[in-house]
């Protein structure tokens, strides 16, 4: 009798897996056709998709091209920058290091990062390593990202962070943070005396056999090498997906492989393929096991999925977490969690998305039903590419057999409405009061802001230029003392589709001042001219 009872749970696992595979097989061809039909609506040059169960790969396929206008097909081994999908790896490595007693996730941040300093002194003293990777520090969404945009190094970002005010509640409010995961990477490096890229190789890529996966900017060196350029003459260059932005006219334009994602490799610096992500997701489905080895401690895998903060400010029109099909959106460590479905027909889903300069990615997993999906693409950030979310919704609707919804048409329409409204607002402001600009001498000079340091406005061969930290871009007159700022020339992370501007004026002392739209953090957002 005891022997029979021991066999039953094993049988139920195989029956469940077979049911899941059969359910997905029933709509897989339709899903594949949907991708081929709708992908052009977003002007995406290339994507790769992998769908797995704990023991089987159901789909691993590339679509489109690695570089717009070139015959360079994407396949399952094409390497993509995956931005914030990195956070799932970082949270997992944290558990591995904890199991080796390198640190405890309940240790204070300042124990390993003495220079850690936030505007809220109480939070500074109480923040733990778990807080760093749980999006619950209590600062505004994406706090500190502007410090990366202006070109500061990691050490400078840590030093400056205490100048960014708190607007949320510590451990009570969900606020997405790239910088805190970046700080976790610094903690790991300080505690182990190894680079994050080395930790990724040692604990993830090598033991899992993810042979085309790395962390850090070595991918740029590989792609730009003279050897790779020589091989390209014969169509044999490295199988790497270059990143793309979208013009205001809706066309994809190649921007290479941006460096900004590697400022903090622990937050956005992993490079990988659909094939390798399939291995990783199977490890997650198998509670941290790969073949006969426990890669990530099972207890930590389970803790990663336990929400410790909830996203309670989702708008009715939200496209990342559409409230009509998603409820109870929370974050644990390296995973979002939510219930997807309608009227009791729901699944608990674990997810993470990524989006930075020129790429968008998404992984989602249903542990209870035993499936996981990764979608990686080489176009734009969240503002211009929501196609991974479209495919997520379509896949889950099919799995649950929900009433068919044309998510693609809906999301394309919502984005068009967003940009039309944005552009109309700026045009209306200009038409209200059309005025000429001052002479260029009024604007030229060195300006200072306590948080960001110095910027320069100079006169170049093609007009005025904006300069900071060895980066520069053109500024083009818009109206009176407001200029459009070609931010994508400055650091590659800002899209051509999103307006950025710099506006000048005078303060009460008669000094020329400036406001830069993408440098908006800190108590005082104004730059004051020094000379």
Place of tokens 């496209």: 319
What mean pLDDT is predicted for residues 264-274? 98
**Predicted local distance difference test score (pLDDT) of residue 293:** 97
Burial class, 343, CB count within 10 angstroms (exposed 0-12 / middle 13-18 / buried 19+) = exposed
What's the pLDDT score for residue 46?
98
Please identify which residue in the block is written with the tokens 């739209």: 517
What average pLDDT score do residues 33-46 get?
A: 97
pLDDT mean over 136-156: 94
What pLDDT is recorded for position 197?
A: 98
pLDDT at 346 (0 to 100)? 97
Question: Residue 17's pLDDT is what?
Answer: 53
Q: Which CATH number is associated with domain 2-96+193-417? A: 3.40.710.10
Position 12 scores a pLDDT of 41
Instruction: Kindly report the three-state secondary structure assignment for every residue of 467-524.
Output: EECCEEEEEEEEECCEEEECHHHHHCCCCCCCCCEEEEEECCCCCEEEEECCCCCCCC
- Beta strands at 252-256 and 512-516: parallel, antiparallel or unpaired: unpaired
CATH of 440-529, one of 3.40.50.2300, 2.40.128.600, 3.30.70.20, 1.25.40.10: 2.40.128.600
The confidence band for 398, taking pLDDT boundaries of 50, 70 and 90, is very high
Q: 321: Cβ–Cβ under 8 A, 6 or more apart, which residues?
A: 311, 314, 329, 338
pLDDT band at 8 (very low <50, low <70, confident <90, very high): very low
Q: What b/e readout covers 13-35, taking b as 16+ CB neighbours within 10 angstroms?
A: eeeebeebbebbeebbeebeebb
Residues of 65-103 as b/e, b for ≥16 C-beta within 10 angstroms?
Answer: bbbbeeebebbbebbbbbbbbbbbbbbbbbbbbbeeeeb
Query: What global pTM score does this model have?
Result: 0.94
Q: Name the nearest CA neighbour of 371 among 400, 336, 406, 403.
A: 400
Cβ–Cβ < 8 Å for 74, 64: yes
Q: Which two tokens stand for residue 229?
A: 């350029």
Closest listed residue to residue 288, CA positions, set 99, 14, 10, 81: 99
> Which residue pairs, CB below 8 angstroms and at least 24 apart, start in 216-220?
216/262, 216/265, 216/269, 217/259, 217/262, 217/265, 217/269, 219/79, 219/81, 219/257, 219/271, 220/257, 220/259, 220/262
Question: Is the pLDDT confidence value at 203 over 90?
Answer: yes
Q: What percent of the chain has pLDDT over 90?
A: 85
**Average pLDDT taken over every residue of the chain:** 93
User: What strands lie across the sheet with 371-377, from one edge to the other?
Assistant: 57-64, 46-52, 371-377, 359-366, 345-356, 336-342, 326-331, 309-310
Going by pLDDT thresholds of 50, 70 and 90, the confidence category of residue 524 is: very high
**pLDDT of the residue at 313:** 93
pLDDT band at 18 (very low <50, low <70, confident <90, very high): low
**Domain-by-domain residue ranges, the chain?**
2-96+193-417, 440-529
- Sheet strands (E) in 367-407: 371-377
Task: Determine the pLDDT at residue 5.
Answer: 34
Tokens for 20?
């899941």
Quick check: 7 pLDDT over 50? Answer: no
């Amino acid at each position: 009798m005891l022997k029979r009872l021991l066999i039953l749970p094993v049988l139920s696992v195989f029956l469940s897996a077979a049911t899941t595979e059969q359910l997905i097989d029933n709509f897989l061809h339709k899903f594949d056709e949907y991708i081929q039909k709708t992908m052009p609506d977003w002007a995406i040059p290339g994507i790769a998709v992998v769908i797995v169960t704990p023991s089987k790969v159901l789909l691993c396929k590339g679509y489109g091209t690695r570089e717009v206008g070139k015959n360079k097909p994407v396949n399952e081994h094409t390497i993509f920058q995956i931005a914030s999908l990195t956070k799932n790896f970082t949270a997992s490595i944290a558990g591995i290091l904890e199991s080796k007693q390198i640190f405890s996730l309940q240790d204070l941040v300042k124990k390993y990062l003495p220079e850690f300093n936030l505007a809220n002194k109480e939070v500074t003293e109480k923040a733990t390593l778990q807080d760093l990777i749980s999006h619950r520090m209590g600062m505004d969404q994406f706090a500190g990202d502007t410090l990366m945009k202006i070109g500061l190094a990691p050490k400078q970002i840590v030093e400056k962070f205490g100048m960014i005010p708190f607007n949320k509640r510590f451990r009570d409010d969900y606020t997405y943070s790239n910088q805190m995961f970046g700080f976790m990477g610094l903690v790991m490096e300080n505690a182990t005396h190894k680079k994050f890229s080395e930790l990724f190789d040692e604990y993830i890529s090598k033991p899992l056999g993810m042979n085309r996966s790395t962390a850090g900017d070595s991918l740029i060196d590989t792609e730009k090498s003279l050897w790779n350029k020589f091989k390209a003459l014969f169509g044999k260059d490295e199988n790497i997906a270059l990143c793309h932005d979208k013009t205001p006219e809706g066309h994809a334009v190649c921007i290479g492989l941006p460096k900004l994602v590697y400022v903090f490799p622990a937050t956005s610096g992993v490079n990988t393929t659909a094939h390798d992500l399939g291995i990783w997701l199977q490890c997650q489905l198998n509670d941290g096991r790969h073949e006969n080895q426990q890669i990530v401690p099972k207890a930590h895998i389970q803790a990663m999925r336990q929400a410790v903060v909830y996203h309670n400010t989702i708008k009715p029109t939200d496209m990342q977490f559409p409230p009509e099909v998603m409820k109870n959106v929370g974050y644990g460590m390296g995973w979002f969690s939510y219930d997807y479905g309608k009227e009791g027909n729901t699944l608990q889903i674990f997810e993470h998305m990524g989006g930075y300069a020129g790429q968008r990615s998404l992984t989602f997993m249903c542990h209870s039903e035993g499936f996981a999906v990764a979608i990686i693409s080489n176009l734009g950030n969240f503002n211009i590419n929501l196609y991974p979310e479209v495919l997520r919704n379509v896949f889950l609707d099919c799995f649950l057999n929900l009433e068919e919804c044309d998510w693609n048409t809906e999301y394309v329409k919502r984005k068009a409405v967003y940009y039309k409204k944005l552009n109309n607002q700026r045009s209306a402001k200009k038409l209200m009061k059309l005025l000429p600009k001052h002479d260029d001498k009024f604007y030229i000079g060195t300006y200072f802001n306590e948080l960001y340091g110095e910027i320069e406005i100079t006169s170049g061969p093609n007009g005025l230029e904006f300069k900071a930290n060895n980066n520069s871009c053109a500024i083009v007159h818009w109206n009176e003392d407001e200029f459009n700022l070609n931010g994508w020339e400055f650091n590659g992370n800002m899209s051509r589709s999103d307006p950025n501007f710099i506006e000048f004026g005078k303060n009460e002392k008669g000094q020329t001042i400036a406001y830069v739209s993408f440098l908006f953090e800190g108590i005082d957002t104004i730059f004051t001219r020094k000379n």
